[in-house]
């Protein structure tokens, strides 16, 4: 049985073979008809011209009658023998041309679809130690932003704090300082920008071809774009993702180490 790879190669080969067959068959048939018609018309014109010349000389002579009979026999020979032979020659030419063209086409398609061998991963790249190091690196990158937000803005401390024991004024003063420091970190690493330029509450038109990953439609969404709506949230997108290079030696689960002052 043919493999999936062989079937994928054979499909375009068969398609091109059919087209080549149709083109070559049509071209060969038209060429044969043109040659046969030219020969037949040329022979008739020459025969008629010769018969007229003989008739003007002396149609009663036996030599004239013999020549006229030979011309008639030659015309019959052309129709009954020469035309079928020419058809056979053109058929052989067509079959050979199609076979050669089909072989060349198959060779070209196979060379185009020849799969590129993938490099085999080295033993070092697939070793358990390397895989473990890669997993730790990915985990550390995932929590790195929280690490920096904690270091610069004490964000984890704020999340873990019980705010019910504080007055609103005290909370507001603490939040202002945390927000300023965390904003610096986010701007440095992500440079966030709004997805749409319109402010919240303003009218906006969503045209056909919009990216649903960038703009999420809510409410009465029926029919096809364009849609007229109101901005409820401007969205956020990162203008850059500035990830540092981290070593895999540190525990990837540690967001911030404990601080101990030695007395």
**Cβ contacts of 239 within 8 Å, gap of 6 or more:** 190, 191, 192, 193
Mean pLDDT of 201-209: 93
Ordered by start, the domain boundaries in the chain are 4-112, 125-191+240-256, 192-237
Q: Which of 30, 72, 76 lies closest to 54 in space, CA to CA?
A: 72
pLDDT, tens digit, for every residue of 213-242? 999 999 989 999 999 999 999 999 989 888
Among 40, 38, 64, which Cα is nearest to 50's?
64
Percent share of the chain, pLDDT over 90: 16
The CA distance from 172 to 179, in Å, is: 10
For 7, half-sphere exposure in the C-beta direction (CA atoms, 13 angstrom radius) is 4
Pairing, β 203-206 against β 227-230:
antiparallel
pLDDT of residue 125: 52
Average pLDDT estimate for 65-71 = 62
pLDDT of residue 59: 53
Q: What per-residue confidence (pLDDT) applies to 12?
A: 64
Answer yes or no: is pLDDT of 8 > 60.
Answer: no
Alpha-carbon distance of 210 to 207, in angstroms, equals 6
CA dihedral sign, ordered 74, 75, 81, 84: positive
Specify the higher pLDDT residue, 215 or 41: 215
The answer to whether residues 251 and 139 touch, using CB atoms and an 8 Å cutoff, is no
In this prediction, residue 229 carries a pLDDT of: 94
More confident of the two residues 156 and 57? 156
The percentage of residues in the chain with a pLDDT greater than 70, rounded to a whole number, is 68
* pLDDT recorded at residue 6: 47
The span from the CA of 36 to the CA of 53, in Å, is 26
Q: How confident is the model at residue 243 (pLDDT cuts 50, 70, 90)?
A: confident
* Number of other CB atoms surrounding residue 159 within 10 Å: 11
Residue 259 DSSP SS3: coil
Query: What's the whole-model pTM score?
Result: 0.44
Residue 183 CB contacts under 8 Å (≥ 6 apart), including other chains: none
Which of the two residues, 147 and 112, has the higher pLDDT score?
147
How confident is residue 4, by pLDDT bands cut at 50, 70 and 90?
Answer: very low
Query: Is pLDDT larger for residue 204 or for residue 91?
Result: 204
Q: For the residues 94-120, what does the mean pLDDT come to?
A: 68
């Amino acid at each position: 049985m043919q493999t999936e790879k062989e079937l994928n190669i054979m499909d375009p080969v068969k398609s091109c073979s059919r087209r080549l067959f149709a083109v070559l068959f049509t071209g060969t048939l038209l060429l044969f008809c043109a040659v046969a018609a030219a020969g037949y018309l040329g022979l008739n014109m020459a025969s008629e011209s010769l018969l007229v010349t003989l008739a003007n000389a002396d149609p009663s002579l036996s030599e004239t009658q013999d020549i006229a009979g030979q011309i008639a026999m030659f015309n019959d020979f052309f129709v009954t023998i020469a035309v079928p032979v020419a058809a056979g020659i053109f058929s052989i030419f067509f079959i050979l041309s199609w076979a050669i063209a089909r072989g060349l086409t198959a060779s070209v398609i196979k060379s185009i679809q020849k799969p590129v061998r993938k490099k085999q991963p080295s033993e070092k790249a697939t070793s358990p130690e390397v895989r473990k190091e890669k997993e730790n690196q990915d985990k550390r990158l995932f929590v790195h932003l929280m690490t920096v937000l904690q270091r610069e803005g004490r964000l984890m401390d704020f999340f873990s704090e019980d705010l019910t024991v504080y007055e609103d004024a005290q909370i507001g003063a603490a939040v202002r300082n945390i927000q300023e420091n965390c904003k610096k970190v986010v701007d440095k690493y992500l440079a966030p920008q709004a997805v749409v330029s319109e402010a919240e509450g303003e009218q906006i038109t969503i045209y056909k071809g919009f990216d649903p990953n960038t703009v999420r439609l809510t409410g009465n969404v029926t029919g096809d774009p364009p849609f007229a709506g109101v901005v409820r949230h401007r969205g956020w997108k990162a203008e850059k993702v500035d990830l540092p290079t981290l070593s895999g030696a540190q525990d990837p689960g540690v967001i911030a180490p404990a601080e101990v002052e030695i007395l």
